[in-house]
Amino acid sequence: MVFGNSSGSVWSLIQRSIASAGLMIEPDKLVVLNKGQRSVKGLASGFEDVATLDLIITMRKADGAAPSDLKAVDRATVATKIQELANVSLATPSHLYLELLRTGIRESWDLAKLDLRDVTSALIADDWEIDSKTGRLSKSGTSKSSELW
């Protein structure tokens, strides 16, 4: 399945639907699909909180084991992961968001509250700037907030 969305509640629905269908996600086969360009809305406004990448999700029939319960995502864990990803890969908020989703799926997070808008806000609060032409991140001056996320 190829899918993209910027809302954690939609991703949570996808997680539950996959489990309800008797399928399971192959966590090591989650691949990010870069569509190569931002949306028309993003080109017109410079930046939008719309995911510009999709996940390619490989699934298989569940092996009969009951699906594990999803874990509530911990804000500190997410904040740490955002900082790690932003410092390693100066990509876009969308790249970071998809990497968080991949991590969350692999670690059985409940993705309901993991929205791209929150990730973007956390980056801006930590003095990351988003280039309006490319959508790419760059680090600016000192941090406005000591607490990410």
Q: How confident is the model at residue 45 (pLDDT cuts 50, 70, 90)?
A: very low
Angle at 128 between CA 122 and CA 132, to 5 degrees: 105
Maximum C-alpha span of the chain? 52
List CB contacts of 136: < 8 A, sequence separation 6 or more. 90, 91, 92, 130
Residues 52-104: tens digit of each pLDDT:
788 999 999 988 765 567 888 878 888 888 878 777 765 788 888 998 999 99
